[in-house]
Amino acid sequence: MTSAAPLPDAAPTNWVDRYAPASLRPWLKIGRFDRPAGIWLLMLPGWQGVALAAAQQGLRPDWKLLASFFVGAALMRAAGCAYNDIVDRDIDVQVARTAGRPIPSGQISVKQAWAFIAVCSLISFAILLTFPPIAIGLGVGSLLLVAAYPFMKRITWWPQAWLGLTFNWGALLGYAAATGHLGWPAVLLYAGGLFWTLGYDTIYAIQDLEDDALVGVKSSTRRLGGSVQAGVAGFYVMAVVLALAAGWAAHLGWAFYALTLLYAVRLLDQARRVRTDRPMLALKLFKSNAWAGLILFAAIVLGSFGEALF
């Protein structure tokens, strides 16, 4: 069984539905390759960690490391999404946005999905083995976060916070891969990323508010209720403050602070515009975070220019 129609949260003109052979589409969709925003959101903290380590030494980020994080993020995001779909298959079939996904719609079996996860994970592990020992340990340790994430929506109102812990692990991993150790700049960058994810995934969950309430799935969006806009604004303020703290700890130059101001404007504009009764706008705002993350990455890269402000 194959689905000819794009999934609800994929662009109608996405490349998978337009160009990929019909037999490959379920495999690409279970890995969310038709919705690349998540690849960017998983990859960018890693890029930022690599860039922070380089800028701290007045250098440019290593393009080979950036390429490794791009491939690794794409594969691990695919594996994580497939795992999430295995765990959530009984819930997904009851939710309009997710019912057409490959597992609940019967296009891919659970056994086939596990094989998909194994292939993606093995390739990613081969990439991880090219990193220093501390980075290898961090990479293996991240699997505990990934394994626990699908269950968080069943036991806490804040699964978005757990996603923040998981998706931003690359900030620590990227810094460690570039330097062979960890430091406070990386920890602060990671903490800022946690709040960034908490904000954008609260926006994303607006799409499922009614269905989540019906099936009993918890989310920060449901918990905040009528205070979603204020909550997202608060999360984003913390994300910016901690990003600035990371730059200060790394002794970055004035260019970092100038561009981080643009990062703040992008985030706070999302908070200003978000509405719980406009799910399509929520999806648009969520996707715009790829640009926000790129702006912070550029700010860190440019932070090697100019004198430190503090």
| Mean pLDDT, each 10-residue run in order, the chain (310 residues) | 63 85 92 91 97 93 96 95 91 84 92 96 96 96 92 93 96 97 97 98 92 86 94 98 97 94 97 94 95 97 74
Domain count, the chain: 1
279 assigned to some structural domain: yes
15 assigned to some structural domain: no
169 assigned to some structural domain: yes
Dist. CA 170–CA 73, nearest whole Å: 9
What pLDDT does 29 receive?
A: 92
Q: What domain range includes position 236?
A: 20-302
Q: Which amino acid is at 249?
A: A
5 assigned to some structural domain: no
Dist. CA 63–CA 288, nearest whole Å: 24
3 assigned to some structural domain: no
8 assigned to some structural domain: no
Dist. CA 91–CA 208, nearest whole Å: 12
**Is 32:62 a contact under the CB 8 Å cutoff?**
no
264 assigned to some structural domain: yes
Q: What is the CATH number of the domain that holds 46?
A: 1.10.357.140
Predicted TM-score (pTM) of this structure: 0.91
What pLDDT does 12 receive?
A: 78
Output the CA–CA distances (angstroms, integers) from residue 258 to 44, 92, 242, 296, in the order listed. 19, 43, 15, 11
What pLDDT does 310 receive?
A: 60
What pLDDT does 95 receive?
A: 81
307 assigned to some structural domain: no
Interior CA angle at 139 toward 133 and 144, to 5°?
130
Number of H-type helices and E-type strands within the chain: 16, 0
